[in-house]
């Protein structure tokens, strides 16, 4: 819920309420990928070092709640459209972004650890990890839909932003507390026989973080590289279209009317969230029943396919005729990409949990998945604007479809059988 409100209200809040320039907006949003690049791998590694996930979950939830409420009350604290309000809003937004990353990665790790701790399911790690992450995606979709529905109850959401963030923060604190108290966690000790684990280098500070990230990004294990490539192309596809979707609706259906484009795009995102919720529920049922070593990679590729297919269909409906079809056609097509949204939030994490379910650096490796999200975001931020000006905004959909097809191919080879039982020494990457 907090994340959906962050994406819905941050840009309008800075542009309308605080009356800032476009440069400030770009600076604010650049903090996301930069902080995520360092925060998720570092937090994952430190949780490996401590041998616990729960303290990071609750610390991140409390920090997120405090930062989000402070963000919404920036003008109340420092005055309307004042420099102080802008500074408070920017700092609290960055803190909120970092703390959301903390909650996300440690909750994913807690889920993965819980799935790997059941002795009777050790021989079915692939299905177990996928099912566990599917349930997580189900609740994530429920949170997005709930956040959008709560937002729709207010005629002036920006004027009641502190109410929205307070509701979302309370829900976050309650749900994280339930997860912490309900899930049994077995603290594990990090073995150092034969050398120190990677996470021990992170605790040394920022220099250690950069060293670990450089080593793991440039020379990841081959099995991890396949997962990172699938993740990389998936997010290249998403960022190629999501950041310009409302503009595409405005130019393709409403002759550039931004208000109508925003309304149509918001409805399309709502359809997508509902489809993601339903898809996660169906995948939860299906993955609990399937067997076979290659079944999960096949389902991963199959559920990513709607992203490429729907983007191609949206491109064709506008490109092939002078008169565009009814806007609801494009909205429904985009809504169907919710299947791929569910897949994106399930299978990369399940693949890491499957292959490295008993690895002492699983937190670091799970955090590295975020690197394959940050790099596509930066590439699309830098290159999508010139590409759009050169060939037209509609061709961005075809570009996204091509990247989505590449993600389908890599996902077929991105999972593997569960790793062998751990030895007396640290597992070799």
Alpha-carbon distance of 403 to 372, in angstroms, equals 14
Whole-model pTM? 0.72
Rounded CA gap, 205 and 342, in Å?
35
| Cα distance between residue 143 and residue 3, in whole Å | 9
How far is it, in rounded angstroms, from Cα 173 to Cα 60? 10
Inter-residue contact 338 to 273 (CB < 8 Å): yes
Angle at 18 between CA 13 and CA 21, to 5 degrees: 95
Exposed e or buried b for every residue in 107-127, given b needs 16+ CB within 10 A?
A: bbbbbbbbbbbeeeeeebbbb
Contacts of 222 (CB under 8 A, 6+ apart): none
CB count, 10 Å around CB of 166? 16
CA distance 74 to 41: 30
- Is residue 100 within 8 A of residue 68, CB to CB? The reply is no
Q: What is the residue whose two structure tokens read 């684990």?
A: 197
pLDDT tens for the chain, 429 residues: list them: 777 777 667 767 777 778 887 667 667 767 666 776 777 777 777 777 777 788 888 999 999 999 999 998 988 898 888 888 889 988 888 888 888 878 887 888 787 777 665 555 554 655 677 777 777 777 777 887 787 778 777 777 777 888 888 998 999 999 889 888 887 777 665 544 344 554 444 444 445 545 555 555 555 566 778 888 888 999 999 988 887 787 788 888 888 776 777 778 878 888 888 898 888 888 877 776 665 556 778 888 899 999 999 999 999 988 877 777 888 999 999 999 999 998 888 888 777 777 766 556 667 777 777 778 878 877 876 777 788 778 888 888 999 999 999 999 988 887 644 433 333 333 333
Phi/psi region, residue 205 (left: phi>0; alpha: psi -120 to 50; beta: rest), is left
Cα separation, 387 vs 380, whole angstroms: 10
Instruction: Select from 190, 144, 161, 168 the least CA-distant residue to 4.
Output: 144
**Owner of token pair 């309420």:** 17
């Amino acid at each position: 819920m907090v994340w959906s409100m962050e994406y819905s209200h941050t840009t309008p809040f800075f542009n309308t309420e605080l009356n800032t320039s476009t440069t400030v907006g770009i600076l604010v949003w650049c903090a996301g990928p930069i902080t995520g690049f360092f925060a998720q791998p570092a937090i994952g590694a430190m949780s490996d070092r401590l041998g616990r996930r729960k303290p990071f979950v609750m610390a991140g939830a409390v920090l997120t709640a405090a930062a989000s409420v402070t963000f919404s009350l920036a003008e109340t604290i420092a005055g309307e459209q004042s420099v102080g309000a802008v500074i408070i809003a920017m700092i609290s937004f960055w803190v909120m972004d970092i703390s959301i990353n903390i909650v996300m990665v440690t909750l994913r790790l807690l889920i993965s650890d819980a799935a790997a701790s059941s002795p009777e399911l050790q021989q079915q790690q692939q299905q177990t990890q996928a099912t566990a992450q599917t349930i997580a995606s189900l609740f994530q979709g429920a949170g997005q839909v709930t956040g959008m529905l709560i937002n729709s109850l207010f005629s002036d959401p920006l004027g009641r932003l502190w109410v929205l963030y307070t509701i979302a923060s309370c829900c976050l604190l309650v749900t994280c507390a339930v997860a912490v108290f309900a899930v049994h966690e077995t603290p594990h000790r990090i073995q150092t026989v034969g050398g120190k684990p990677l996470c021990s280098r992170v605790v040394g500070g920022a220099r250690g973080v950069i060293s670990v990230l450089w080593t793991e990004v440039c020379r990841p294990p081959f099995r991890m590289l396949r997962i990172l490539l699938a993740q990389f192309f998936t997010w290249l596809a998403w960022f190629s279209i999501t950041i310009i979707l409302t503009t595409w609706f405005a130019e393709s259906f409403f002759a550039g009317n931004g208000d109508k484009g925003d309304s149509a795009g918001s409805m399309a995102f709502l359809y997508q969230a509902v489809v993601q919720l339903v898809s996660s529920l169906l995948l939860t049922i299906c993955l609990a029943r399937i067997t076979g070593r290659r079944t999960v990679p096949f389902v991963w590729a199959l559920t990513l396919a709607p992203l490429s297919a729907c983007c191609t269909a949206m491109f064709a409906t506008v490109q092939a005729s002078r008169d565009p079809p009814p806007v609801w056609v494009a909205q429904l097509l985009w809504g169907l990409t919710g299947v791929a949204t569910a897949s994106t939030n399930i299978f990369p994490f399940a693949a890491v949990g499957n292959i490295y379910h008993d690895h002492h650096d699983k937190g670091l490796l799970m955090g590295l998945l975020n690197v394959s999200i940050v790099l596509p975001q930066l590439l699309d931020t830098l290159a999508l604007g010139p590409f759009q000006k050169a060939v037209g905004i509609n061709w961005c959909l075809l570009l996204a479809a091509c990247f989505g097809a590449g993600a389908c191919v890599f996902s077929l080879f991105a999972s593997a059988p569960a790793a062998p039982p751990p030895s007396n020494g640290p597992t070799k990457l």
